[in-house]
Amino acid sequence: MAVRPIVRYPDPALRNPCAAVDTFDGDLRALADDLLDTMRAAPGVGITAAHIGVLKRVTVIELSREDGVRVYVNPIIENASDETARHTEGSVSMPGVTDEIERPARIRVRYQSLTGEHVTEDADGFLATCIQHEIDQLDGIFWLQRLSRLKRDRAIKRWEKMLRAPG
Protein backbone atom coordinates (compact mmCIF):
# COMPACT_ATOMS: atom_id res chain seq x y z
CA MET A 1 0.00 0.00 0.00
CA ALA A 2 1.41 3.32 -1.09
CA VAL A 3 0.46 6.84 -2.08
CA ARG A 4 1.30 7.14 -5.77
CA PRO A 5 1.93 10.32 -7.79
CA ILE A 6 -1.23 11.65 -9.45
CA VAL A 7 -1.25 12.55 -13.14
CA ARG A 8 -2.15 16.27 -13.37
CA TYR A 9 -4.30 18.04 -15.92
CA PRO A 10 -3.61 18.64 -18.86
CA ASP A 11 -1.53 15.46 -19.16
CA PRO A 12 -2.71 13.68 -22.34
CA ALA A 13 -2.78 10.37 -20.43
CA LEU A 14 -6.05 11.57 -18.87
CA ARG A 15 -7.70 11.27 -22.31
CA ASN A 16 -6.69 7.65 -22.90
CA PRO A 17 -9.34 4.95 -22.53
CA CYS A 18 -8.42 2.21 -20.07
CA ALA A 19 -8.13 -1.47 -20.95
CA ALA A 20 -10.34 -4.12 -19.36
CA VAL A 21 -8.86 -6.09 -16.48
CA ASP A 22 -8.62 -9.81 -17.18
CA THR A 23 -6.34 -10.97 -14.36
CA PHE A 24 -7.77 -10.94 -10.83
CA ASP A 25 -4.78 -11.44 -8.55
CA GLY A 26 -2.66 -9.92 -5.82
CA ASP A 27 -1.37 -7.23 -8.17
CA LEU A 28 -4.94 -6.03 -8.78
CA ARG A 29 -5.64 -5.96 -5.03
CA ALA A 30 -2.38 -4.02 -4.48
CA LEU A 31 -3.43 -1.52 -7.17
CA ALA A 32 -6.81 -1.04 -5.46
CA ASP A 33 -5.06 -0.51 -2.10
CA ASP A 34 -2.70 2.05 -3.65
CA LEU A 35 -5.65 3.83 -5.26
CA LEU A 36 -7.41 4.05 -1.89
CA ASP A 37 -4.29 5.41 -0.15
CA THR A 38 -3.68 7.91 -2.96
CA MET A 39 -7.32 9.05 -3.01
CA ARG A 40 -7.41 9.58 0.75
CA ALA A 41 -4.13 11.54 0.64
CA ALA A 42 -5.34 13.75 -2.25
CA PRO A 43 -8.03 14.04 -0.69
CA GLY A 44 -10.91 12.86 -2.85
CA VAL A 45 -13.96 10.59 -2.90
CA GLY A 46 -13.13 8.74 -6.12
CA ILE A 47 -10.09 7.82 -8.18
CA THR A 48 -9.30 5.67 -11.19
CA ALA A 49 -6.15 3.79 -12.12
CA ALA A 50 -5.75 6.33 -14.96
CA HIS A 51 -5.25 9.07 -12.34
CA ILE A 52 -2.00 7.35 -11.36
CA GLY A 53 -0.98 6.53 -14.92
CA VAL A 54 -2.19 2.91 -14.97
CA LEU A 55 -4.55 2.39 -17.90
CA LYS A 56 -6.73 -0.34 -16.38
CA ARG A 57 -10.50 -0.20 -15.78
CA VAL A 58 -10.35 0.05 -11.98
CA THR A 59 -11.91 2.72 -9.79
CA VAL A 60 -12.19 3.18 -6.04
CA ILE A 61 -14.93 5.27 -4.42
CA GLU A 62 -15.30 6.14 -0.75
CA LEU A 63 -17.98 8.76 -0.09
CA SER A 64 -17.33 8.49 3.65
CA ARG A 65 -15.59 6.11 6.02
CA GLU A 66 -19.03 5.06 7.29
CA ASP A 67 -20.20 4.13 3.75
CA GLY A 68 -17.06 2.10 3.19
CA VAL A 69 -14.80 1.55 0.21
CA ARG A 70 -16.25 0.48 -3.13
CA VAL A 71 -14.00 -1.03 -5.80
CA TYR A 72 -15.33 -1.33 -9.34
CA VAL A 73 -13.40 -3.38 -11.90
CA ASN A 74 -14.49 -3.12 -15.55
CA PRO A 75 -17.58 -1.03 -14.71
CA ILE A 76 -20.22 -0.38 -17.37
CA ILE A 77 -23.43 1.61 -17.02
CA GLU A 78 -26.27 -0.66 -18.12
CA ASN A 79 -29.10 1.78 -17.59
CA ALA A 80 -29.53 5.44 -16.72
CA SER A 81 -32.64 7.38 -15.72
CA ASP A 82 -34.12 10.14 -17.85
CA GLU A 83 -34.34 12.21 -14.69
CA THR A 84 -31.18 14.22 -14.06
CA ALA A 85 -29.45 15.77 -11.06
CA ARG A 86 -26.74 18.40 -10.68
CA HIS A 87 -23.73 17.88 -8.43
CA THR A 88 -20.45 19.68 -7.94
CA GLU A 89 -17.60 17.71 -9.48
CA GLY A 90 -13.83 18.04 -9.64
CA SER A 91 -10.80 15.78 -9.99
CA VAL A 92 -7.79 14.65 -7.99
CA SER A 93 -5.89 15.51 -11.20
CA MET A 94 -7.05 19.14 -10.95
CA PRO A 95 -7.38 19.85 -7.21
CA GLY A 96 -9.17 23.00 -6.15
CA VAL A 97 -11.26 23.42 -9.32
CA THR A 98 -14.91 22.35 -9.30
CA ASP A 99 -18.12 23.06 -11.16
CA GLU A 100 -21.67 21.72 -11.39
CA ILE A 101 -22.42 18.97 -13.89
CA GLU A 102 -25.79 17.49 -14.79
CA ARG A 103 -25.99 13.70 -15.11
CA PRO A 104 -28.65 10.99 -14.87
CA ALA A 105 -29.99 10.84 -11.30
CA ARG A 106 -30.08 7.03 -11.15
CA ILE A 107 -28.01 4.33 -12.82
CA ARG A 108 -27.54 0.59 -12.93
CA VAL A 109 -23.86 -0.37 -13.12
CA ARG A 110 -22.41 -3.78 -13.92
CA TYR A 111 -18.85 -4.48 -12.78
CA GLN A 112 -16.54 -7.10 -11.35
CA SER A 113 -15.21 -7.37 -7.83
CA LEU A 114 -11.51 -7.77 -7.01
CA THR A 115 -12.04 -11.54 -7.21
CA GLY A 116 -13.70 -11.34 -10.64
CA GLU A 117 -17.25 -11.89 -9.42
CA HIS A 118 -19.87 -10.19 -11.63
CA VAL A 119 -22.05 -7.70 -9.75
CA THR A 120 -24.95 -5.43 -10.73
CA GLU A 121 -25.76 -2.45 -8.52
CA ASP A 122 -28.32 0.34 -8.60
CA ALA A 123 -27.13 3.77 -7.47
CA ASP A 124 -28.66 7.19 -7.07
CA GLY A 125 -27.72 10.57 -5.66
CA PHE A 126 -24.07 11.47 -5.22
CA LEU A 127 -22.95 7.84 -5.55
CA ALA A 128 -24.51 7.65 -9.05
CA THR A 129 -22.72 10.88 -9.95
CA CYS A 130 -19.37 9.56 -8.69
CA ILE A 131 -19.69 6.26 -10.55
CA GLN A 132 -20.55 8.06 -13.80
CA HIS A 133 -17.67 10.53 -13.29
CA GLU A 134 -15.13 7.74 -12.74
CA ILE A 135 -16.42 5.63 -15.65
CA ASP A 136 -16.04 8.72 -17.85
CA GLN A 137 -12.39 8.90 -16.76
CA LEU A 138 -11.91 5.20 -17.51
CA ASP A 139 -13.28 5.96 -21.00
CA GLY A 140 -10.81 8.82 -21.46
CA ILE A 141 -13.37 11.58 -20.81
CA PHE A 142 -12.00 14.15 -18.36
CA TRP A 143 -14.76 15.84 -16.34
CA LEU A 144 -14.15 19.23 -17.98
CA GLN A 145 -15.50 17.82 -21.23
CA ARG A 146 -18.96 17.68 -19.59
CA LEU A 147 -18.97 21.49 -19.14
CA SER A 148 -20.06 24.12 -21.63
CA ARG A 149 -17.17 25.73 -23.52
CA LEU A 150 -17.48 28.90 -21.42
CA LYS A 151 -17.46 27.04 -18.08
CA ARG A 152 -14.62 24.79 -19.28
CA ASP A 153 -12.50 27.80 -20.30
CA ARG A 154 -13.15 29.47 -16.92
CA ALA A 155 -12.22 26.29 -15.03
CA ILE A 156 -8.98 25.94 -16.99
CA LYS A 157 -8.11 29.58 -16.31
CA ARG A 158 -8.71 29.03 -12.56
CA TRP A 159 -6.43 25.96 -12.70
CA GLU A 160 -3.68 27.81 -14.57
CA LYS A 161 -3.89 30.69 -12.08
CA MET A 162 -3.57 28.24 -9.17
CA LEU A 163 -0.50 26.66 -10.79
CA ARG A 164 1.14 30.09 -11.17
CA ALA A 165 0.38 31.17 -7.60
CA PRO A 166 3.41 31.23 -5.29
CA GLY A 167 3.57 28.72 -2.50
Catalytic residue, chosen from 89, 102, 121, 134, is 134
Annotated catalytic residue 117: no
Residues 142 and 76: their CA atoms lie apart, in Å, by: 17
Active site residues: 134
